[in-house]
Chains A and B, each alone.
Chain A
C-alpha cells in the first residue's frame, strides 16, 4: 500500500499503552512464583484464584521497580498513590475485578526522547505508569466447545506505561516502543520478552485532517506481540480509518485485534459491549506511601541510562549518534562494545570496534539467536581479531572470514590465522612477483590498460589478490600494481 498518497492531508495520532511485566520473583499481591511456562495452575495460589477470604499484600519489589522507571523517565513519583478495582467479568479474571491504579498512579508526567530516521529528536510525553495485576490465560486447543483457564499468570505484576498521544507515525511509535523496551531492560525491571508476553503493547490510533482542532475518534489495537506487527497493525489501521472517513463514514470507538496472518485489524466483538468498569478504591489495600528515603535509595541503584551512555559514546569514542544509538540499544551490547574497546587498545580503535560490533558481531548474534553473554566470540576474542587488523597481520576482508571461523568454532583469531595460513603478505618482493606473473599472463589486458582503459586496473587488482589467495596487503598491492602498470 502506498501510504504517502493515501495519507495525503491526514495527520496520524498514536498513543501507546505498554504493559511491562515486572521481573519480580513473586506476584504483586501473593507469594506465588512468576516463572513462565509452568504447568497449568501450578503457580496459582488461593490469592491468585480469588478464593473467598483471601486478601492482597503488596510486593515491595514491584513498587521499587515502578519508582525506578519513574526516576528514569523524569516522572513525578507520587508520595501517596492508591489501588482501585476495575470491575468486569471474564474467565481469566478470577476475582471479577482487576486491582489496578486509577485516579492516583504511582508514576506520572514523565517523558522519553526518541530519535527519528532523519536524526532529529522528539520528546514523547509519558502520561502515567501504574501498577496492576496481570490476568490469567484462556486456552482453547484440544477442548471441544470449552475454554480452559490457566491462572498462573494471574497476579503477575504489570507496569502499564501510558504515553501521551504524541506519536505521529507508525515509525515514531516503533521508535518509542523500542526506547521503552531498551529502558526497562536497562533498569532490569522487565525481561522484555515479547514472545512470552512480558512486554506487550496496545496502540490507540486515530487520524484527523491536518489542522483539525480535535483528535479523531480512536481505535485501540490490542496486544500486538512484535515490533514489526505493531508497525504493520498501525499502518493498516491508519489506512482503514482514512478509507472510512474519505468514504464519508465515521470511526467507531472500539477495540480491534491485529491478525498477523491476514495483516489486518478487526473488531473484537466479545469486548464490544459498552464497558462500565465501576472503578473504586480497593478497600483491601491502603494508600501506598513512597518516602523520600525510599526514592533516594532507588535512585542510587539507577544504572547509566541509554541516552547518557549514547552521549558518552559520542564524546569519548567519537562515534556517530547513530552508531552510539545502536550500540546502546541494549545494556549487554553496550557493555560488550566497551569491553572490546578496552582490550583492543582504547579509543584509537573505537570506530573500528563499533563497525564490527554493530556489523558482523550483531549479525551473527541475531542470525543464531544467541545471548551476547553466550556468544562464541567473547569481547576479548573480538578485540584480538581487531588487533590483527590494526597490526596488518590480516586485511579487513580476510578478517571477516576469520570471524566466521571464530564464531563457528569458538576459536581465537591468532589460531585461525595460523591454522588457515591467512597471514597477510606484506613482503614487497612476494607481492611484486605475484603482480609480475599476472601481467605476464594477461598481455592483452595490459596493452589495453596502457592504451588508456583505466577501468582494467580493477581487473589487475583482483587477479593479483587471487594470486596471493587474498592475503596481500591491499594498500601495498594497490601501490605496487599502480607503479608497475604505469611504468612504461
Chain B
C-alpha cells in the first residue's frame, strides 16, 4: 500500500486542458515559490462544497469562505487548536487543508476563546436574532440590485431628480456592491458557524465519553428534530399538494406536463386561480432553493426552484399521489421530538451524578447552536447565494446584449476581476458613444476556456494530495467533511482497479436495507428515481427532499453526520451511509446493494 498521495506538482494536466491555470486567480494556485511548504501538507479535494470543476467566475464562492472561515477561527475567536482552512485550485478542482495552530499558542488562545466565544454562547439567542436581522438586510440589498442593458438616452429622472451619475457608473458600482455584499454575508456565515460546531462537537464527545459505545445517531437525535425553517420549503410543497386536493384540482395538477402549461390551464377556474396565487405567494422566498448536488449555492449553473418550477411541481405531484394512496406525508416532527426528549431523559438518568450539570449545560447549548447550524443553510446558501448567482446571470445577459459577449454564459468563463474589466470596457464604450473591444477581445479567450473546462471535467479524480497525517484531528474536517483517518486509508487502498465489494463511510442514519441503486448526480435526474431504490449521490440539499419520500436508503460521497443527507434521512427514518468518497464513481444504477446505516458500510450484492 502506498503511504502518500501524489505531490500536487506531479499531477499531470489532463490532455486538452493545457493553460488551465490562467482561468483561476494566481494566489489560488500551487506555485514553485511555496512548493516546499505545500508539498509537506495533506490536501483533500473539497467535494462537499465544490463537487464539480469551477467556472472561473464561481471561484468567488471559494474565496469567500477561504477568507471568512480563516479569519473567524484564526483571528477573531482564537479557536485554540485550529487556524483556518487553506485552499488551492488544481486542474479546476478545489483542494483544502486545515492549518493547526502552533502548539505553543494553544494555551493562550484557549483563554481568549473562552472569553470571546463564551460571550457568544452566553448571549446566543439574542445574537442569533440580531444576526438574522443583519443577514436578511443583506438579502434585501442584493435583491435591490438590477442590471439592465444601458439605455440609449438616460431617463428623465436622472435629470429632474438630480441623480448626478450615469447608469453606466451605477452598473460598475452595483457589480462591486454585489460582490462586496456577498463577501460581507459570508463573514456573518462564519460569525456563528464554527463556534456553533464546537459546542455541538463538545456535546458529541461528552456523550462518547460517558457512554462509550453510543452511536452517532443517538447523539444527534438528542439535539436535532427542531422545527426549523430549513424544512419549511418541503413542508410548503406538501401543503400545496393538500391544497390542490382540497380545491378539487388534484387531477389537473397530476395530469399536465410542464409548470407553464399547467398554470395556464388552471387560470380557467376560480379554484385553479386560487391555487396558482397560493403557489406564487409561497414561491418567494420558500422556493428560492438552490439545486446543486453538493453544498447548495456553490455554482452559478444550477437553477433554483423559482427558476425551474417544474422541479417543485414534480415534488408536489409526488405528494398528491401519496395523499391519494392514503399515506401520511407530514414529517413526523412530533414523534421525532417526543423521541428526542425520551432518549435525552433516559441517558441523563444513567449519568454519574456529578456529570448531570455539565450534561444539561452542554445539551442546552448544543440545541441552541444546532438551530443555527441548520437554518443558516437556508438563509445564506439558498436565499443569498441563489440571489447572487441570479443577479450575476442578469448582468451577463445585459453585457451580452450590449455586445461584450457573444452569449451570456461567456461571462462565467471570466474571473471576477476580468468581469470588472469587461464591465468598464462596455461602460466606457457606451458612455462616449463608441464601442469597446468587447466580444472580439473575449471570444478567443472564452473559446479556449470552454475547451479546457470540458477537458477538466472528464479528467480522473485525484481525491487527495501529499502525505496524510497520522491521524485526522481537526474537528471540522471530521464533523463537516466526514473525512477521518479511516476515510483516508480507504482512499489510499482503493486506488487499484480491483472490483469493489464494500464501501465504507460514516453511519449517517440507522437501519439496514437492501435495494437497487439509482445514481443521481443532478436534481433533474430525480424524476427517474423509482420507489424503493437506493439513492446514490454526491451529496444532497433541501432541493432533493422530495426524493427521500421515494427512496429506501441513501449513500452519499460527501458529508458527515451533520450533513443534509444524514439529517434528513434520520428525519425520514431511512438508513444512510454518508461520506463514502467513491459511491458515485463506483456504484452503477441497477446494482443491488446492502446499506448498513448502523455501521456505515455499503455492500455490493451482485
The answer to whether A and B come from one shared complex is no
The interface of chain B, by Cβ under 8 A from chain A, is none
The interface of chain A, by Cβ under 8 A from chain B, is none
